[in-house]
Chains A and B, each alone.
Chain A
Amino acid sequence: MRWPPISTRFEPGPGRALGSTAIRLGAALVAVTAFSADGCARGDHRGEAPDPAVAAVAAERAGLGEPAVRGRVLYSAYCEVCHGEKGAGDGFNAYNLDPRPADLRGVLAARGAAHIAHVIRDGSASVGRSPLCPPFGRSLGEHERELLLVYLEEALAAPGAGDAP
């Protein structure tokens, strides 16, 4: 078969029919592509609907970020028994202690993260206080201590903040 020469003349004939077929095909292709792209966008729209599993986990986390949630686990294991669920220094063991455990609400802002990190690692005696808050530096690694600080910052930032659901 010979390749057809490029025609510059407008001439009615079967070529026109074939040419217009190609144009129609091209137009149809563009239309289909556009339509399916549109379809993609619509399909994606479902992603906006709530996922109940995600919502249930988020509700359980009560607005805390993931590191704070991990910090909360450590807080309830190591700190809550004296400092209390909301950090008010009113834990179940608080009334056996003299001096009473510190109110942790807002303590991070008041004393600075470095100070608190120091107490968690080396105990309250290391900052010249009573020895009743023991050193947890060998039980909790640096990263875990960091998570505790994040929890203190997010959940126990100020008096009353711990009362949020």
Chain B
Amino acid sequence: MRDSWGRALPVLAGLLLITVVLAFVREYGSGWGRVQSRYPSVRAAHGLLPPARDEFRPGVQQIYLPALGRIDRCSTCHLGIDNPRLAGAPEPYTAHPGDYLERHPPDRFGCTICHGGEGAALEEREAHGRARHSASPLTPKELIESSCGVCHLGVEVPGAPLLSRGRRLMDEYSCQACHEVPGLTTQKFLGPSWDDVGRKVTREWLARWLEDPHGYLKRPRMPRFRLRPAERTAIVEFLLEFTGVPGEPGASSALEGNAERGGVLFRESRCITCHSVRGRGGTIGPDLGTVAGKVTPEWLVQFIRNPHFFQPTTPMPRFGFTDGEIRDLIAYILTEFVAEEESAPRAVERVDPALLDRMGREAFTRYGCLSCHALAAMASPGKIGPDLSRIGSRSVDELVFAPPDTAAHTLSAWIFEKVRSPSAADSTARMPEYGFEEADIAAITVALLSLRGEEVPEGFRVHAGDEGGHLPQGKAGELFRNYRCLSCHQLYGRGGTIARAPLDFEGSKARREWLVDYLEEPYAVRVLIPERMPKLKITREEAELLADYMGLVFVSDRVAAGSEFRASPGEAEAGRRSFESRGCRGCHILGETGGYVGPQLNSTGIRLDASWVTEWLLDPRHWVPETIHPDYGMSREEAHALAAYLDTFRAGPR
């Protein structure tokens, strides 16, 4: 017994000695020690003296962030990170690029909240999360905007275009309909409601559409579901049973209209501001290129007469067309928008109706159709997809990488492939194929990576811009909803982005008489912009009511109410000189010549309030935050003179 221990002891002692030596080597012969020893020479190479003792003491540097639950020791090696004079120094001494640290001081935010990695680690491999099974790999710089989204909770994040694009896409395609997505809480139906679908579309169109929406629209919002032919038939037949809702307006009997007059009306109403025709035009509504093969004339009459009855959330305005005009329009649509070669209608196999009904219902539930389409007869199943609140912090070890498995084993690669083709990633997935292009998939990947489920304290969170102010109510509100003003115009941070300037201060900006005329008979103020205000057939009474409402409500304190703009003699001449010397003509047409960047100014005197013009020139960004109109820093006198000069231009439309 004695002797046996005698043999073991030297071995154990040797092992202990080796361990201790290794620990010493690891701790003191470390990478960071060498890095710090070279720091003074790197500084010298950039014309800096060795660091003062109160500025830098050799040893482990760390930022302790109890609020974020982090300890970041990155600055142990990244010694010049906040020193702009080391911008050209080699890694790891180089300064942080950009002005990020000015907005996000390291002593408050640390490093790993943005960059990932193992903040407390001191060995490069571990710190950069390259060790196997590392729970926190370094975020690649291409995807770094995902980190912005941890604190910046709105859809639009300034300075993070990729993240914003991904979040916009997720909202546009309504990921929140099937998934729990923090930040996207507004439940909306992506597709049309289906209560009238049986009367709206043809059987052949519906079958083709369900097979592949890309066959009908270039950029359909509806994804492609991998339906078996029998399922498709079942869904088609099941859907066609829904032919309307009680109390709907009666169908029009006579359909004969004049296609030529309809064509004039189609162009005059600027339908292509929202709809494209064979690829050219707006993107708010669907392409109309071959719509004659999709919808029935009877439905079209009812829809154009009152789009909001069947589709309460459609962005389409209710135009003030007469029944005769509607007939003309439909005659035009049905003769003009036909497919060049109509593909042969698919034979739809006939199956037992009872079986079809059951299959249709089953397929409905399985594929979550009702997450995007409203149907009064059936309740929505709610969010049928997985909760995405923490997808950005999933561990790589729990992910299954589908064959051919050639990509990196990272969370970002996994998400990318999953979004690109859910069925390739998992053959049993119910999620449909969206057919996004790669740059869009990357943006969505960044947006998903930002959903880390990380609870940052309130002081760090930047919420979406508050939507201040209330929407118009009463009679004016009814008109706003009827004509769907906010499908194109911004108001208090809400609404569409087609119109350039928000309506927030329209009452202080535009003259009442001009507004009334313009609402009745709109024309192009900005010469070359393809999207124009549609002629909505607003009546004069309605236009006056809207103008009065805007004059009372959409106003700014910066333009004194009811004050008269008075120009002293000679002021207009001073304004003219200013106009020419400042180069305003480079962007604006005045008289015969000028640029196409800003609105033409020949009707300024009848269109705009001159006091507003003065205030606009003094601070353009107050009125339109993202305007590129330069702020010349001009004096109030000069702005006033310019406004006085422009006020003398009173040309009517055209």
Interfacial residues, chain A to chain B (CB-CB below 8 A): 3-7, 11, 13-20, 22-23, 26, 39-40, 43-44, 46-54, 56-61, 66-67, 70, 73, 77-78, 81-82, 92-93, 96-97, 123-125, 130-136, 138-139, 143
Question: Within the complex, which residue of B6, B141, B582, B593 is in contact with A15, where a contact is CB–CB below 8 Å?
Answer: B6
Residues of B within 8 A of A53 (CB): 142-143, 412-413, 415-416, 441-442, 445-446
Q: Does B322 contact A (CB under 8 A)?
A: no
Residues 2-16 of B, flagged 1 when their CB comes within 8 A of A and 0 if not, give: 111111111110010
Contact of A47 with B5 in the complex, beta carbons under 8 Å: no
Contact of A54 with B586 in the complex, beta carbons under 8 Å: no
Q: Does B132 contact A (CB under 8 A)?
A: yes
Contact of B1 with A67 in the complex, beta carbons under 8 Å: no
Q: Does B99 contact A (CB under 8 A)?
A: yes
Contact of B8 with A22 in the complex, beta carbons under 8 Å: yes
Contact of B12 with A133 in the complex, beta carbons under 8 Å: no
Contact of B416 with A15 in the complex, beta carbons under 8 Å: no
Given contacts A7-B7, A19-B11, A26-B15, 9 further A-B contacts (CB under 8 A): A18-B7, A19-B8, A40-B132, A44-B132, A46-B409, A50-B407, A57-B162, A138-B630, A139-B630
5 intermolecular pairs with C-beta atoms under 8 Å apart:
A19-B11, A44-B132, A46-B408, A78-B628, A133-B583
Q: A44-B132, A82-B586, A131-B582 are in contact. Are A4 and B4 (CB under 8 A)?
A: yes
B651 to nearest A CB, angstroms?
19
Name B7's closest neighbour in chain A (CB-CB): A19
Which residues of B, 552-600, contact A by the 8 Å Cβ criterion?
Answer: 581-583, 585-587, 593-597
Q: A15-B7, A39-B132, A49-B408 are in contact. Are A92 and B596 (CB under 8 A)?
A: yes
Residues of A within 8 A of B99 (CB): 143
Contact of A96 with B594 in the complex, beta carbons under 8 Å: yes
Q: Does B513 contact A (CB under 8 A)?
A: no
Question: Within the complex, which residue of A11, A44, A51, A92 is in contact with B410, where a contact is CB–CB below 8 Å?
Answer: A51
Contact of A26 with B11 in the complex, beta carbons under 8 Å: yes
Residues of B within 8 A of A139 (CB): 621, 628, 630-631
Q: Does B17 contact A (CB under 8 A)?
A: no
Query: Cα distance A136–B610 when bound, in Å?
Result: 24
B414 to nearest A CB, angstroms?
9
Residues of B within 8 A of A23 (CB): 11
Contact of B581 with A131 in the complex, beta carbons under 8 Å: yes
Interfacial residues, chain B to chain A (CB-CB below 8 A): 1-12, 15, 97-99, 130-133, 140-143, 159, 161-162, 406-410, 412-413, 415-417, 420, 438-439, 441-442, 445-446, 528, 581-583, 585-587, 593-597, 621, 628, 630-633
Residues of A within 8 A of B593 (CB): 96
Interface of A is mostly: helix
A137 to nearest B CB, angstroms?
8
A84 to nearest B CB, angstroms?
13
Query: Cα distance A60–B407 when bound, in Å?
Result: 19
Contact of B3 with A11 in the complex, beta carbons under 8 Å: yes
Contact of B442 with A18 in the complex, beta carbons under 8 Å: no
Residues of B within 8 A of A17 (CB): 4
Residues of B within 8 A of A22 (CB): 7-8, 11-12
Query: Cα distance A55–B142 when bound, in Å?
Result: 8
Name A21's closest neighbour in chain B (CB-CB): B8
Residues of A within 8 A of B8 (CB): 15, 18-19, 22
Contact of A73 with B587 in the complex, beta carbons under 8 Å: no
Contact of B586 with A96 in the complex, beta carbons under 8 Å: yes
Q: A23-B11, A138-B633 are in contact. Are A15 and B583 (CB under 8 A)?
A: no
Contact of A4 with B415 in the complex, beta carbons under 8 Å: no
Query: Cα distance A23–B633 when bound, in Å?
Result: 83
Contact of B407 with A51 in the complex, beta carbons under 8 Å: yes
Q: How many A-B residue pairs have CB under 8 A?
A: 179
Query: Cα distance A59–B11 when bound, in Å?
Result: 58
Residues of B within 8 A of A123 (CB): 583, 630
Contact of A15 with B4 in the complex, beta carbons under 8 Å: yes
Q: A4-B1, A17-B4, A44-B130 are in contact. Are A97 and B586 (CB under 8 A)?
A: yes
Query: Cα distance A4–B15 when bound, in Å?
Result: 19
Which has the most chain B C-beta neighbours within 10 Å: A49, A54, A61, A138? Answer: A54
Contact of A54 with B143 in the complex, beta carbons under 8 Å: yes
Query: Cα distance A70–B159 when bound, in Å?
Result: 8
Q: A4-B1, A17-B4 are in contact. Are A93 and B442 (CB under 8 A)?
A: no
Residues of A within 8 A of B97 (CB): 66-67
Name B439's closest neighbour in chain A (CB-CB): A60
Contact of B415 with A59 in the complex, beta carbons under 8 Å: no
Question: Within the complex, which residue of B133, B142, B445, B587 is in contact with A93, where a contact is CB–CB below 8 Å?
Answer: B587
Contact of A15 with B2 in the complex, beta carbons under 8 Å: yes
Name B589's closest neighbour in chain A (CB-CB): A96
Q: A46-B408, A52-B407 are in contact. Are A3 and B413 (CB under 8 A)?
A: no
Query: Cα distance A97–B8 when bound, in Å?
Result: 93
Contact of A56 with B439 in the complex, beta carbons under 8 Å: yes
A28 to nearest B CB, angstroms?
13
Query: Cα distance A17–B6 when bound, in Å?
Result: 11
Query: Cα distance A82–B586 when bound, in Å?
Result: 9
Which has the most chain A C-beta neighbours within 10 Å: B133, B407, B528? Answer: B407
Contact of B4 with A13 in the complex, beta carbons under 8 Å: yes
Name B9's closest neighbour in chain A (CB-CB): A6
Residues of A within 8 A of B2 (CB): 4-5, 7, 15
Residues of B within 8 A of A58 (CB): 142
A132 to nearest B CB, angstroms?
4
Question: Within the complex, which residue of A51, A56, A78, A134 is in contact with B441, where a contact is CB–CB below 8 Å?
Answer: A56
Contact of B586 with A134 in the complex, beta carbons under 8 Å: yes
Name A91's closest neighbour in chain B (CB-CB): B597
Name B528's closest neighbour in chain A (CB-CB): A92
Contact of A5 with B583 in the complex, beta carbons under 8 Å: no
Contact of A4 with B6 in the complex, beta carbons under 8 Å: yes
Contact of B632 with A134 in the complex, beta carbons under 8 Å: yes
Contact of B632 with A59 in the complex, beta carbons under 8 Å: no
Residues of A within 8 A of B416 (CB): 51-53, 56
Query: Cα distance A44–B134 when bound, in Å?
Result: 11
Query: Cα distance A61–B628 when bound, in Å?
Result: 24
Contact of B5 with A56 in the complex, beta carbons under 8 Å: no
Residues of A within 8 A of B595 (CB): 82, 93, 96-97
Contact of B442 with A60 in the complex, beta carbons under 8 Å: yes
Query: Cα distance A14–B416 when bound, in Å?
Result: 62
B417 to nearest A CB, angstroms?
7
Query: Cα distance A96–B446 when bound, in Å?
Result: 41
Name B449's closest neighbour in chain A (CB-CB): A53
Residues of A within 8 A of B528 (CB): 92
Residues of B within 8 A of A51 (CB): 140, 407-408, 410, 412-413, 416
Which has the most chain B C-beta neighbours within 10 Å: A16, A52, A131, A133? Answer: A52
Contact of A77 with B6 in the complex, beta carbons under 8 Å: no
Residues of B within 8 A of A97 (CB): 586, 595
Query: Cα distance A104–B593 when bound, in Å?
Result: 25
Contact of A134 with B445 in the complex, beta carbons under 8 Å: no
Query: Cα distance A17–B2 when bound, in Å?
Result: 12
B290 to nearest A CB, angstroms?
32
Query: Cα distance A20–B142 when bound, in Å?
Result: 55
Contact of B415 with A49 in the complex, beta carbons under 8 Å: no
Which has the most chain B C-beta neighbours within 10 Å: A20, A22, A43, A81? Answer: A22
A98 to nearest B CB, angstroms?
9
Query: Cα distance A16–B162 when bound, in Å?
Result: 68
Contact of A52 with B417 in the complex, beta carbons under 8 Å: yes
Residues of B within 8 A of A143 (CB): 98-99
Contact of A93 with B9 in the complex, beta carbons under 8 Å: no
Query: Cα distance A135–B620 when bound, in Å?
Result: 14
